[in-house]
Structure 1
Amino acid sequence: MNNNLRNWIIFSTVVLLTGLVLSQQIDRKSNHPSDSSVTAKVMRTENSESPKIGHTAPPFSLTGIDGKSYELIKMRPKPVILNFWASWCGPCQDEAATFVKLNKQFGDRIQILAINLTAADSVKSAQQFARTYGFTFPVLLDTDGRIAARYKIRAIPSTMFIDGQGIISDVVLGALSWDTLHNRALSLLKD
């Protein structure tokens, strides 16, 4: 079997397993009685806030690996790039350096939030990943899969570009090359 076919099979398997794990987490959380108020709240906000281009990004608050709390709405008026990832994801590893490079270039004008799908990963692995790749931007922990479910994340990496008014302007599924990430960041700054 040639390397391209083997790599494609591995990548496809990882994407499928990620979807299955996230689906199980979502199903488990939505069937839990104490989560009914959260589910109702999410359903009420989906009319005006949706993880779709042209809609307001759904608000959230998550704790980072630094122990601080981060709220999406408090990032305004700075544009935000949300990157959903896991430490075991090969394409996430491939694109990590591009986010570090982008943060060095635009970190004063664009906020990068790296959201680890901790429900399918671990805090320790997320911390190690951030150290290994030199992340200096916030690494947030989605420990129960609630934010991934709210943003309808089915494959990783997934990246959302949010303008200074909180509107999703672009969504990319899969690893980002430097050119693609850089060009989309420049578009965010023009909005």
Structure 2
Amino acid sequence: MIRRLTATALLLVLFSVVLFNVNAKEEQDGPNEYNVSGNTEQTGTAITPPNAASGLQVGDVAPDFTLENLEGEEVTLSDLKGKKVFLNFWATWCPPCKVEMPEMQEFHEKYGDEVEVIALNATASEKKQEDVFKFIEQNGYSYPVLLDPTNQVNDEYQTITIPTTYFIGTDGKIQQPRHIGPMTFDFMEDMKDKLD
């Protein structure tokens, strides 16, 4: 028992040292990355390789996909053509995601007839798929939640950091730069008005 505790403590110390060194190097050499565990003021959660792709760009056609929602019904993105869509990538373990979700709910309640808010869960990163159902039910979120059990759609959209939101216009194209980090209600209103 003591050996296990000692080994666990040693691993935590080593992990902390590595994380500190990575963060210190990033501050000197490139974009900031943060350890957001427990700190909801950070703008995203990720481990990003140095040669990571930059994601889809404004003007790109949003890649089509079909995923199941929490009720087991299939939802296909291209079926939403003609509507404005906020495609938000998130996970239950992501503190910044938890910050924006009440604001997304408020936005959905006010503008759900104008903008389709789709919360696409990085299900392969969850401990258990049931955690997603519990989280949504406990918090009373009513906007559509889709499950990505293999993270195929997350990979296709190159969502290295979550939360990440893509803004898709009625033409099925990405019309505004993707947003990395939690969104506020005011920001979502602004994005709604910028989409055609």
TM-score by length of 2: 0.72
Greater helix share, structure number: 1
1:87-106 alignment runs, 5 A limit? 87-106=92-111
Q: CA RMSD in A?
A: 2.0
**2:78 matches 1:73:** yes
* Aligned residue among 122, 126, 140 for 1:134: 140
Match of 1:187 in 2: 194
Q: Percent identity?
A: 29
SS at match of 2:119: strand
For residue 78 of structure 1, report the CA deviation from its aligned partner.
Answer: 0.8
2:120 and 2:35 map into 1 onto residues whose CA distance is 26
After TM superposition, the runs of 4+ consecutive aligned structure 1 residues lying more than 6 A away are: none
1:108-147 alignment runs, 5 A limit? 108-121=113-126, 122-147=128-153
For residue 51 of structure 1, report the CA deviation from its aligned partner.
Answer: 2.5
* Aligned residue among 172, 177, 180 for 2:184: 177
2:153 and 2:86 map into 1 onto residues whose CA distance is 15
Match of 2:58 in 1: 53
Query: Contact 2:35/2:45 (CA < 8 Å) preserved in 1?
Result: no
Ranges in structure 2 where 5+ consecutive residues have no aligned partner:
1-33
1:56 and 1:63 map into 2 onto residues whose CA distance is 21
1:132 and 1:186 map into 2 onto residues whose CA distance is 31
SS at match of 2:88: strand
